[in-house]
Structure 1
């Protein structure tokens, strides 16, 4: 099963033993961190400058991440407002030496564009 759909991931990472929770799966906070990093890369590119995470919506853990999974984090712009950018993030685990792919979580991350004083600013259109 291929869930990446031919897209390139923003991040690819392999969890480390220190990232395991008491159940033997990868800690949810670690996954959330990877998602925020990937979404922030796309948001900063779109905003042409600094951004800050202001909301995480509709996040759902679908399947656990295992220690030897290769994690691919995909991120796409869902909408752009006056000062904010919403990024849809999907995490896919590659297992069994690449023989299987499992969607493990997704979510919607909202960022605000920041000025030099760390205050919200208008998103610069056409900055790509």
Structure 2
């Protein structure tokens, strides 16, 4: 029995990147992005998810937008220096002024190229804004 029964397995089963989402960003975290434990800082990962999540709404809004909500953010596995992170997203909802995007993040470990591990997922909502920062209708 594991010392911590709720902990994820040390070597999670390989994952397959989703075929129903678009690859919107690839990035490699560096040593400057680590926390006190030597893993990549969660806030750094969150910033990358926000950037990746904004790609598809930017194509639709074609103007200014702001992140207004993160309904869910799950860290499934640690991210390590040298991992190749692939960010996949899909639009799940388009409202009058807002767009919600599902983002999944997969890591190819530095020494295990071609084997993907799902490390993070999030549901992020963006709102179209005008030049004064006020919500505006999304062009249809």
Structure 2 residue corresponding to 1:68, chosen from 69, 75, 82: 82
Aligned CA-pair RMSD: 1.3
Q: Distance in 2 between matches of 1:118 and 1:42?
A: 20
Structure 2 residue corresponding to 1:80, chosen from 94, 100, 118: 94
TM-score of the superposition, structure 1-length normalised? 0.91
Q: Distance in 1 between matches of 2:114 and 2:137?
A: 44
Cα offset, 1:3, TM superposition: 2.2
> Which protein shows a greater Rg?
2
List structure 1 runs of 4+ shifted beyond 2 angstroms.
5-8
TM-score of the superposition, structure 2-length normalised? 0.83
Q: Does 1:20 align with 2:34?
A: yes
Q: Is the 8 A contact 2:99 2:127 kept in 1?
A: yes
- 1:54 — aligned with what? 68
Cα offset, 1:2, TM superposition: 4.4
Gaps of 5+ in 2: 1-13
Q: Distance in 2 between matches of 1:8 and 1:121?
A: 26
Cα offset, 1:48, TM superposition: 2.0
- 1:115 — aligned with what? 130
- Number of residue pairs aligned between Structure 1 and Structure 2: 125
Q: Distance in 1 between matches of 2:127 and 2:137?
A: 9
Cα offset, 1:116, TM superposition: 2.3
Helix, strand or coil: the match of 2:57?
A: helix
